[in-house]
Every structure is written in C-alpha cells, then in structure tokens.
Structure 1
Amino acid sequence: MPLHGVCKNIMSARQKEHGYGTSQNPDRFQQQDYLQLKRFLLTQNKLFRDETFPPDQRSIGQGKLEPAELAQVQWLRPRDILMSNPFFILDGVSRFDFGQGQVGNCWFLASLGALTFHKEIFKLIVPLDQTCVGKDYCGLFHFRFWRFGKWVDVVIDDKLPTIKRKPIFARSKDEREFWPALLEKAYAKVCGSYADMTSGTPAEAMRDFTGGVHMCIQLSDPSPDLWKLLCRAGRSRTFMSCSTIPKTETTSGDRLPNGLVPGHAYTVTGLKQLQSQETEVNLVRLWNPWGHGEWNGDWSDKSPLWRSVSTKDREKCLTVENDGEFWMSLEDCCRYYTNIEICGMRPDFLDEEPACHWKTSMYENRWVAGTTAGGYINHKETFWTNPQYRIKVCGKTDSSQTRNTLVSLMQKSDKRNRRLAQLFFIGFIIFEVSEKDEKRAGKFPASFFSSHRPVAQTRKLMKSREVTEFLTLKPGEYVIVPCTNEPNQTASFLLTIFSREETRCYENSGHNLNNPVEKAKKEKNCQDVEKKMLLFRQYSDKYEEVDAELLQQLLKGDLISGSFSIDACRSMVALMDESGDGKLDSQEFGYLWHKVMKYKRVFAKMDVSQTGTLSLTELRNALRDSGMSISDELLNLMVVRHGASSGHMTLENFISLSLRLSRMNKIFTELSDGRNVTLSRSEWLFLSMYT
C-alpha cells in the first residue's frame, strides 16, 4: 500500500534532516533499494526485471514509433544484443562514444556530452562498479540524478528496446559499449517513458546532473564581459551548452545552409583565444550530439582562416573529421544561437574572486489554488497570499555594482509523466523590509505590497522549468515572493538562494501557532450562562450528558446556518471529551459552546462578502483573528480536508477545523517535552483513533 501523503511529506522532511537525499546518500527512487535487490538476485541466481518500468510499450511511450515499428520491438539485454561479451564502459568515456536515436532528446545528449568532461561528476551519476557480465552481473543497474532538491538513486533492468537487434534510442559508436543506452533508460524512467524525453532544454538535464547553479545567458544582447564569464565557467566544474534559433516558416530541411540544425542543442566543449595575424580571436568549440553535421562558416574544419594562425595553434585545435565537433567565433555564436546555458556544482564561476565561498538556502513549497496561488503583483487583492520568504543580508557590499545574490525558482509538476507537466509563467519579486516592519510576524498583507516598490525581480515571467536572476542586494532585510502569472495556478516549486554574504533566510508564512490554546473565560453575562445551561438541559439525557446525536440536534436548533453532520459531531465530542466515555457533561459542553460561539462570531466578522462562506483569504484572516497563525503548508492541507469543492469554507466546517486545530495543539503541548512528542504504538493508536 502506498504511503499516506501527509506521512510521506513528514518522512521526506525527516530524511532530509538526517542527510538523506544528498549525493553521497541518495534517496531511493520509487522505494527501490539497489543493494537489497542485488543481494536477493545474486542469492536466487535470477536476472532483474523492473516492473516499475516494464520492458514493453508503456515504457516506450506514445507517438515515438509507428505501429509497424512497435510490432518489431524486442527488449534484449546487452549480452543478447551482442551475442558475445558486452562492456558497460570500454576504454573510458568520451562525447564521441554515442549518438542520438529515434527520440528527440538532443537536449539530454548534449548534456551527456558535457558530462563526459567531468570525471568526478560522471562517477557520481554513473557508478563505475557495474558490469554486463561476470559473477556480479544480475541484469540490475543504477544511476543517480538530482531531482528537485534531492539526489535519487534510480534502479533499472538492462533490457533495451531494439529492432533487428539494434538499439532504437541512444546507441554507442562501439556496439560493445552500453553505458549511454542504460543511462538514457534510467533518465527515461525518471521522466515516465522514452517518449517523455522528447523536447527540452539542456539546462534541465545539466541541472539534474549537478544539482547546482544554473544560469541562462541570452545572446541577442550579450554582456561585454561574456567572454570572461565563459572562461571562468570553463575553468570551473561547469557544464555549458547552447541552442540554435528555432525553425521558421522560411526554413527548409533539417539543416541550414551554414550546416547548423535549427532548434537544436549543442554542447560547448572548448574555449580558445587565438592570434589571427595581428588580431585576437575568441573561439568557441561546439559539438552536435548527433555525432555528425557541422558548421561550415568561419573557423569551421575547412575554413581558410586557420591558415592565419600559427602552426602550433592550428595543430593543437584543428581536427578535420565529421564527428559533429567544430569551432566558430564568439560573434557567430551570438549571431546563430539564442542562448548559452551554464550549470555548475557551485556558483564559483559567478565570482572573479576564487576564494569566495557562497552560502545556499533552499525551500520547497506549493502554490495552491485558493490559498497560496495569488498570481503576479498586478493582482493586488491576492498577490500577498503567495508564499513569502524573508532574507537578511549581512556584511558589507563593496559597491552598488557588486552582484552578491543569485535567486533560482524552479517549478515542479505533480504529474508522473514529463510530457503531461503543465508549465506556468513563473517569476519572483523582492521587496525591502524597513526597520519598522522587521518585527512583523507572519505574512505581509496586501497593504504592504501596495505601499512598497520592488527592489529586484525577474526581468520577465517565463514559461520554463527554472528562472534565475543574479542580483545586487545591499545589507538589510528583504521579502521574496515567488509567483505565477495568474492566480489559482497550482504547482510545487523549489526556491534556492545563493549568497556571497552571510544571510539568514526563513519562510514568512507563520510556522508557529501564536497562543492557540485558549482557556474558557467566565461569562460575565448571567443571562448568557443561564441560556446556555437551559439549552444543555433541554437536550441532555437523564445523566445530564449529551452524545454526538444529541449534540447534532442541539446545534441544528441553535446555529441556524445549515447543520453539522453526525461525523462532525462525533469529532467534536471526541475532541472535548476528557473522560473518554463518548459524551459531554455540562462543564465539557460549556467549554465547547464557548468555543463554538466564539468561532461563529469570528466567522460573521470575517465573511466580508456576506456569502455565508469564507473565501481562502477570509479563512486565513479568521484563523488569525481567533489567535492562530498557521503556515501555508498547513492551510493548504486544511482546505483539502475541510473545504468544499468550490474552495470556500462553510460555518460548520470552519468551526470543526478550528476546534481540531486548537485541541490538537493543546494535546501536543501537554504531551511534549517542549519540542517533540514520543508515543508508543498503542498510545499513538489510542490518540489517533479518538480525536
């Protein structure tokens, strides 16, 4: 049975606290443990078959192969493809080891080409102690990827889709080598299928290979220091790629007259500054993941410009082969490519000071329709409901021109299959917090944002997996608001803040309950007390107690608005029942009645629209007015559990959830040591089954 959603979230948070999900201690993708599986298979002398990514049409996906081709597909292990001893890795790894197959994933293979330059990162992604033959072989392989804030270990079997014994997708130039095809299969499993790898940007895979810093440089208006930045990136452990201008109506064929492929991803494999006669020329070396097809303009393999450089430079740089790799000038690169993507394990390449150490803060959260999906800043009434993050920049900034903070916002779809993921236009806005607002607890309201101007923001909202901005923030306190373009767009996101200076960051939604445990106050009005007791005696049994059914009749007769379900009344009795007999005596009823009347007054006060229900904004205000400040995550959960399908909250549901929130917090306070609660299994079951 799958884990309960809330339980899964709690376990994930705890695992992260204890170091799970790091590159050295990755999480298990789909709960598959490589070492346990391997021990079992070797003991049983069996070959692995992965039922979570089965060797059939479901794993190929839709739209990649014609029905006639699908009928010919055979899933074969390397030893059955080759009919002799296959190799996992043969004579090291190189970008020239492989070529693209029948899935449009040049973006992934361009990143794979970049990966081959970084041996330490390659060993992290591709554990080298794996083999296609021998006593340790059991048809089981594993690879590691960074996925939305954590590293995962992905297990696969080695059955590959083939037609006429030839792999359909990524294939090695040397048919005896299989690491490219197996790595591609593991990534296809993460995406949902091979077809789900169609179309993308190299930045997506580069990020999943490093888990580090991503920067996209638009080449339509390049910075004067572009070459310096590229050289710093080249010296660091970074991946670089670029993409050509997409195909237009006037473009015919797969290639342009200059040899480039429109809308195609290329790997940056080298940078070189040469002396051409008396002029310095900045050259970029690029590689086509097809493994063939090259640029034929200036500085291409057969360009006469190579005769203008020294023999030494020419022999060192130039290789005349149709291997997909070529040189071109930085100016031509900016002319024919749309952007350069840079991704590194650390943000070292951003800084000209090699001794600089960047600090990282990472937060996972969700935009949820009706509660925390407030849209862009032009939606003045709802923008403030977006998640908010406070950041305090300490230290000294050398000048107003020094960029000291990089903010990354990545959206994560809830869909299992990548092709079904709906990407929204996303971005973030940063506001400075003045001294008088620094002590404010909880979210800043709409009035704060209407009276403050942003000090930084994404240049434009983008419909992409990730947006980043490199910013200058002077010492002080700020609030960062990640948002979608429109309200009520539900998605998960990951916010990462890299800082040169010492910073303190935290979520601003109000994780702690502010004095939520309230003691029943003595009613000063004797008439109110007498009315309450008269009502209680009217409905109580001969023992002067009310059970859930009697309570339902009582509430229905007095609250006017609708009625409480019998389950809601049972829950109320359980929450207030101190004797555990399933009934409320006059004192317990008095405490319940006091709370019910209080929440009824709060409901009426906060129902400014006078619809008889609370919108999600009104709900948050109502809880705050009741003395309870809650996090966005808890608010989202409460709406799912207690709200109507419209996203609004009725009086009955508001009273039920407020009682539960207040009571459960009191139980925690009574049982905890100040931080945690420890329960035996029987205690846990006793508590959870009767609250």
Structure 2
Amino acid sequence: MYMVCVFSSALPVPTCLYLSGNVPVTWSVYTSRYDAVFVCAAKGDMLPISSGLFVDAEFPASVSSLVRGACTPLSLLCDRITWLRPQEISASPRLFPKIARDGLGKQGILGDCWFICACSALQKCEQFLHQAFPHGPCAWTDPGYIGKFTCRFWRFGHWVDVTIDDRLPCLGRKLCFSHCQDQNAFWLPLLEKAYAKLHGCYEALWAGQVADALLDLTGGLVERWPLGAGEQAVQERMFNKILELKERCAMSCSVLHYRKGVSELGEFHAFTITDIQLVVTKDGQELMMLCVHNPWGRSCWDGSWGKSGQGWNMLSPQVSSRLKSEMREGEFWVEKSEFIRNFDEITMAFPVSEKGHVINIWSGMSLAFTQEVHGSWLKGLSAGGSRNNATFPDNPKFWLRVREQSEVYLVLNQRPLHDTGSAQNKDSLFAIGLHAWKVEKHKFNLNKTLSSSPVVGTSSHSYDRQIHLHGELSLGYHLLVPSTFLRDSEGHFFLRVLSTGRINLSEITPPRPVPLPWEDKTQGSWEFQKLHGIWEKGKSAGGSRNFPSYHINPSLPFTVPKGCHLVKLTLRQQCDAENCLAIGFHVYTVSGKKHLSPLSGEPCASCVPHCHSQEVSQLCVLSPGQYVLVPSTYLPEQESIFTATIAAKVDRKPIQSQETLGRQLQEVCVISVMK
C-alpha cells in the first residue's frame, strides 16, 4: 500500500490518497493547484513528483523573502502569512484588468506606496508596460502555463531581468501586499514581488522615493517639482504643463510634512494624480481640479472638496455630478490652490516616442541621440568633492562634443560603491552635482576654466539617484565634471547625455607617463616577455597599497637582461571600455636574502595613481637583475584577467629578416580524416 500526500499552501493539512500495489510507480501530476506532490511508501521514504509549476528557489516562499532585518512592523505578521498562487486566490485570474482604470493599485500592509504610485507609469504608456513584462500577458488556464514570470527593471544603465514564480504573500486567502481594484488582475502584485526580489526582500520596499521607482520602471527621465516655494509664474507654467501631459505622463504627488486639520493625508505618503480638468464655476471663474488617488484605497480628503465640502457648491449640479461619478475607490478631487497648500511635491516621468526616444516635456522635442559612459569617484584619486574644495579638478572629466545646435539633457546617476545592485542602499547616497563649461579643446587652461562660471550646472548638490541639467548647447566642445559634495566620497556613477542633435561623449583619460627624452635616440632592439594573471576575489585581489591585503596580489617575476638600458612595463586588463577597473602596478627588486619578501621594501618603479583604463604603462630605467611586478586594482576584491608585457631595450641590432608571411593553414577535422 502506498500513500500519496498532496501538499498545497492553500490547504491547512496535507491531503492523502491511497494506492494499492507493492512496487514503486513513476507518475506525474500536472495541475495548477498544488505546489508539491510526494509519494510516501509505508516504510517512510518520500519520492518527489513534479507538479509542473515553476518554484523559484532564489526567492522562496519563506520568511527570508519577507524580512531580513526585522526593522519594520512586517516582521510581526510573518508567521501568519501564507503563499498562494493566483488561481488559488481568484476563480478567474488574469494579468491585466479589462478596464484600465480598474488597474489602480491599492496598498496592503507593506509601506510601499511610492512603488505603487510609480506603477501608474505602466498604465499610461504601453512601451513601459512591455518593458516591465517583456514576454507579454499569459492565461492561467493555458495548458502550457508554468507559473513563471520575468519582469524587467532599469538599474544603473542596464535593463535587468528578474524571474519569479507566481506564489504571492497572503493573509487568509487574500493578498496582503499590493493589489488592483480589480482583484482578478495580478500584474501589480507580481511586479511588486519581482521588485522585492531585486531588493532582497519585501521589507526593503518599506519607504522610498517615487522618483527612484519611476526610474527603475521607465529607464528615462524623472523630474521632481517642489510646491509652495516657487514664484507664481513658475507654478502656473508647471500646472499648465501637467494639464497638457496628463494622458501621457505618470504623475504622483507626495506629502512630506504633517498638515494640521488634514492628518488623514498621512505624513510621508505618496498619491497618484489620475486626472486634471478645467471647470467653470457658477459665477464664471475657471478652476483647475486635480483627481488624486490614495493607494490606501479609501477617500481621505476632508478639505473644501471632500464628500461634504463647501467647494462643490461653487459648481453647477451637472458638473459636480459628473466629477463625482468619475471617481474610483480611493480617489478625491481637490482644487489647485488647495492642492498647493497641502501637498509638498509633484513627481513625473517623461514620456517616450513610438521609437522609444525620451520626449522633452517642455519643448515636445524627441531626444533621439544618446551617449553614455560609466565612471567612479575614488578616494585619493578622483573624488575631488565640490567646487568648494581645492581638489575639485581631480574629479573625473569628460568631453562632450556638440556637432549641431541642440537641446540637451545632461543626466547623472549615482550608485554608491557599497551597493551591490541587488539591494537598495537608501542611506548611502551622496549629494551629487554636475557642471559643464564651453571650452576650446586644444587650448584651454583647466584651472582657469574651472574657476570661471559654467554654462550650466546644478544649483546645489542633491541626495538623489538621478539629477539632470537641461539647456541649449552650441556647437563645439564642452567640459563635463560630475562631483560629490564632500571630497573622498567613493562611488560609481553613470553619465548619460540625451540630445536633439548629434553628439559625442568621451572620458578625458589621465595623461600617460611622458617618454624619456632620449628614448628614440638610443640604439638597440626590444625584447619582450608576456605574463598572464588573474585577480580573484578572496585569493589574489588584494587591492592597492592602501589596504593590508595588498600582499596577496599576484607577483610576476621577470628578468632585465645585461645590456638593457630602458624597460617599458605595460599592464592590460580584460574588460570592455565601460567597465574598466582602476589598475596600476609596482616593481620590486628581488633581494639576495631568501628570508626577505620582495614586497617588504619600497618599490623601485611604479605606475600610479591607478587609472580606469584598459591599459596602463610606464617607462623606467632598471639595472640588469631579477625583479617582481605586482599588478593591482585600486580596491580589493575586484576580479579581472590581465596581461603584463615587459619590453626591454637592449644594445643589440635587430636581425634584418626577409621572410614573408605564408598562407593560412586550413584545419582538417579529425572526423573527416577518419572517414
């Protein structure tokens, strides 16, 4: 007799079936209801049988996917949360709702209103939606359905695919985190799960910036507009613009400070602007009305335009009735002046064209030309800080060549050095800035240029993941300098230029060592030695001499022959131009005393500071003898393959060979020879 135990997260206890027989039987169950099925023999051994549904082992249905640090109220509910698939929650699950507005997000017990509000971008633009769900919709009733989804997010210049299964956290039999107003639609909770996996767990989504989530979902440009502090003309221009773009752009508004009398708004809460309309009052006055959605899913507005507010008396019954009938659950209308008094900022994502180009919201022009480059601020080398510091010229520098009069966005994204890309380090963002000067490339003084006023620059350094500058740039070269406010702040950045016209962006690499003045005057020929190595994390990636682990770097022995009067040392790393590590090297004399390590003394030659380049080299004079070359990355625990070339110029005339290159050999496959 065999007992079949069917385990499902939807059932409180295993369901048992019994089969007769005295030999093991191999069989499979293909059903969307069960997570795992096992055949249990009477003697107690357990054999797994596939359910046909995908199970994500990297992001399991367990507490580790819910919380890590137990620093939020979510940790108190973990033991009550179960994981169910959509077909166990709904009788007719589907990815997207039949009516678009029924896809409005509602927040559960997770504090991620900022993410839910940003998801409205996907409802405004099909291109964003197809980016987030690159494989399109699916049907849970399809025979080939396996419970597997892949979502895509933009992270630091690249689109990252995140694959999940469709098991979702529930309390009872209802979703406990985000869900749509149409509770048969599951695109939002699935996207939320993928975003939680990207950040390490659901708890990591507790509190954040709408702008950051919009950036991850769109990969484009995002602007934040403060309310209440600007001039009236600026405010008018801003609200006219959001009225114009209401159908094309995702718009959110936030409350960042407590408001007396409207505490139901909630301090530090994000909302979605779902509609904007101009209406005329009974006495002919034009009002701008904004429809705001609260992701809590309930109306929380008790101002002049609340359910029983006096504002509605200003409108005709027909207009009032129309506006009220258009509201969904959790929405409310508020007039512009009252909106400005009670909300702190508006955040909006730029639209894109059919070809995928970002559209400038102010001019409507397509930013069809894009150039981008990665870089780093490194302590003691290229982390010069703001213009307040004398070390500002040490910051990374870039040439931007504008080939035709263009409308340009200069965009700077930061990623702290300690950010692995899989978790959000909210507390480790630096205040960053960006400045640009118009220069004559081949004749300009760096210090003089940087002391002058830039043609465009950030008014202040900002603790944002992304900042940008906007302006019209004339033909020619411009010097771009990204910086952190404090010097020696280490981090990576991604510089992107979007333009209406043709442009070229390139890094100004540190100057190579100046050749010795007598290099080309000496007689002799070059002899080459080529050495290969690898920096491997935990074994041979010791970093620069600033770190105690320096001694574990590879030590490459080489010999300088007699008659040599000049040595050229070259270190080349195996990488593409955008992802170069900062590399350099030191050379040590090998002592005759065996008990002494070559690294115990000072180097006799060096190629420093470390440079973000595929190749660095140094000319030096070394006496004949034994040496050790120690190549290193600036920071420890960075991996790469490298090649070191030692070229020694010796007093020997080169042989004048007259051999010619023969034809290429044609390889013959072993199998063809056997045939």
Per the TM superposition, whether the score is higher than 0.5 is yes
| Pair 1:516–1:293, CA change in 2 (3 A) | farther
Distance, in Å, in 1 between the alignment partners of 2:495 and 2:125 is 27
| Pair 1:600–1:165, CA change in 2 (3 A) | closer
Q: Deviations over 1:344-381 (max 9, x none)?
A: 243434334x4655532222222222332222122223
- 2:55 corresponds in structure 1 to 49
Q: Deviations over 1:508-538 (max 9, x none)?
A: 226x97998999767699xxxxxxxxxxxxx
| Pair 1:121–1:356, CA change in 2 (3 A) | closer
> Where do 1:5-44 residues align within 5 Å?
none
- 2:625 corresponds in structure 1 to none
- 1:226 corresponds in structure 2 to 238
Distance, in Å, in 2 between the alignment partners of 1:639 and 1:497 is 38
| Pair 1:316–1:519, CA change in 2 (3 A) | farther
Q: Deviations over 1:432-488 (max 9, x none)?
A: 2136536xxxxx85x345543323211111112122232343444211111111222
Question: How many corresponding residue pairs?
Answer: 527
Distance, in Å, in 2 between the alignment partners of 1:435 and 1:566 is 42
Structure 1 residue matching 2:119: 3-state secondary structure: helix
1:294 aligns with 2:300: yes
- Of the three residues 369, 379, 386, the one matched with 1:376 is 386
- 1:110 corresponds in structure 2 to 117
Distance, in Å, in 1 between the alignment partners of 2:301 and 2:647 is 70
Q: By how many angstroms is 1:613 displaced?
A: 10
Counterpart of 1:365, as a letter, is G
The answer to whether the Cα contact below 8 Å between 1:272 and 1:284 also exists between their aligned partners in 2 is: yes
**TM-score where L is the length of structure 1:** 0.66
Distance, in Å, in 1 between the alignment partners of 2:224 and 2:474 is 24
Counterpart of 2:169, as a letter, is P
- 1:660 corresponds in structure 2 to 644
The answer to whether the Cα contact below 8 Å between 1:258 and 1:295 also exists between their aligned partners in 2 is: no
Q: By how many angstroms is 1:93 displaced?
A: 3.8
| Pair 1:132–1:640, CA change in 2 (3 A) | farther
- 1:468 corresponds in structure 2 to 468
| Pair 1:569–1:107, CA change in 2 (3 A) | closer
- 2:659 corresponds in structure 1 to none
Structure with the bigger percentage of strand: 2
Structure 2 residue matching 1:234: 3-state secondary structure: coil
Counterpart of 2:337, as a letter, is E
Structure 2 residue matching 1:246: 3-state secondary structure: coil
| Pair 1:92–1:132, CA change in 2 (3 A) | farther
Q: By how many angstroms is 1:490 displaced?
A: 2.0
- Of the three residues 164, 171, 194, the one matched with 1:163 is 171
Q: By how many angstroms is 1:601 displaced?
A: 13
> Where do 1:105-144 residues align within 5 Å?
105-126=112-133, 127-144=135-152
- Of the three residues 239, 244, 250, the one matched with 2:255 is 244
RMSD (Å) for aligned C-alpha atoms: 4.6
- 2:542 corresponds in structure 1 to none
1:641 aligns with 2:594: no
Distance, in Å, in 2 between the alignment partners of 1:505 and 1:570 is 37
The answer to whether the Cα contact below 8 Å between 2:156 and 2:415 also exists between their aligned partners in 1 is: yes
- Of the three residues 412, 416, 427, the one matched with 2:415 is 412
- 2:279 corresponds in structure 1 to 274
Structure 2 residue matching 1:430: 3-state secondary structure: strand
Q: By how many angstroms is 1:228 displaced?
A: 2.6
Q: By how many angstroms is 1:199 displaced?
A: 1.0
Q: By how many angstroms is 1:201 displaced?
A: 1.4
Structure 1 residue matching 2:53: 3-state secondary structure: coil
Q: Deviations over 1:33-90 (max 9, x none)?
A: xxxxxxxxxx9762211122122111112334566522223222223345x4533334
Structure with the bigger percentage of helix: 1
Q: By how many angstroms is 1:208 displaced?
A: 1.9
- 1:328 corresponds in structure 2 to 334
Distance, in Å, in 1 between the alignment partners of 2:552 and 2:130 is 60
- 1:507 corresponds in structure 2 to 507
Structure 2 residue matching 1:110: 3-state secondary structure: helix
Distance, in Å, in 1 between the alignment partners of 2:246 and 2:318 is 22
Structure 1 residue matching 2:265: 3-state secondary structure: coil
The answer to whether the Cα contact below 8 Å between 1:301 and 1:320 also exists between their aligned partners in 2 is: no
Distance, in Å, in 1 between the alignment partners of 2:587 and 2:147 is 63
- 1:9 corresponds in structure 2 to none
Q: By how many angstroms is 1:332 displaced?
A: 2.3
Q: By how many angstroms is 1:107 displaced?
A: 0.3
| Pair 1:614–1:434, CA change in 2 (3 A) | farther
Q: By how many angstroms is 1:390 displaced?
A: 1.4
- Of the three residues 74, 89, 114, the one matched with 2:82 is 74
Q: By how many angstroms is 1:614 displaced?
A: 10
Q: By how many angstroms is 1:264 displaced?
A: 0.9
- 2:493 corresponds in structure 1 to 493
Distance, in Å, in 2 between the alignment partners of 1:311 and 1:271 is 19
Distance, in Å, in 2 between the alignment partners of 1:600 and 1:492 is 22
| Pair 1:422–1:91, CA change in 2 (3 A) | same
| Pair 1:204–1:516, CA change in 2 (3 A) | farther
- 2:202 corresponds in structure 1 to 194
| Pair 1:120–1:452, CA change in 2 (3 A) | closer
**TM-score where L is the length of structure 2:** 0.67
- Of the three residues 398, 402, 411, the one matched with 1:389 is 398
- 1:551 corresponds in structure 2 to none
The answer to whether the Cα contact below 8 Å between 1:96 and 1:323 also exists between their aligned partners in 2 is: no
Counterpart of 1:290, as a letter, is W
For structure 1, the residue ranges without an aligned partner over 5 or more in a row are 1-42, 398-403, 439-443, 526-546, 548-563, 574-583, 604-610, 629-637, 648-656, 665-691
Distance, in Å, in 2 between the alignment partners of 1:452 and 1:317 is 54
| Pair 1:437–1:146, CA change in 2 (3 A) | same
Distance, in Å, in 2 between the alignment partners of 1:338 and 1:61 is 31
Distance, in Å, in 2 between the alignment partners of 1:138 and 1:485 is 50
- 2:189 corresponds in structure 1 to 181
Distance, in Å, in 2 between the alignment partners of 1:293 and 1:369 is 50
Counterpart of 2:59, as a letter, is F
The answer to whether the Cα contact below 8 Å between 1:260 and 1:293 also exists between their aligned partners in 2 is: no
Q: By how many angstroms is 1:334 displaced?
A: 2.2
Counterpart of 1:410, as a letter, is N
Q: Deviations over 1:632-670 (max 9, x none)?
A: xxxxxx99825697x9xxxxxxxxx9x936769xxxxxx
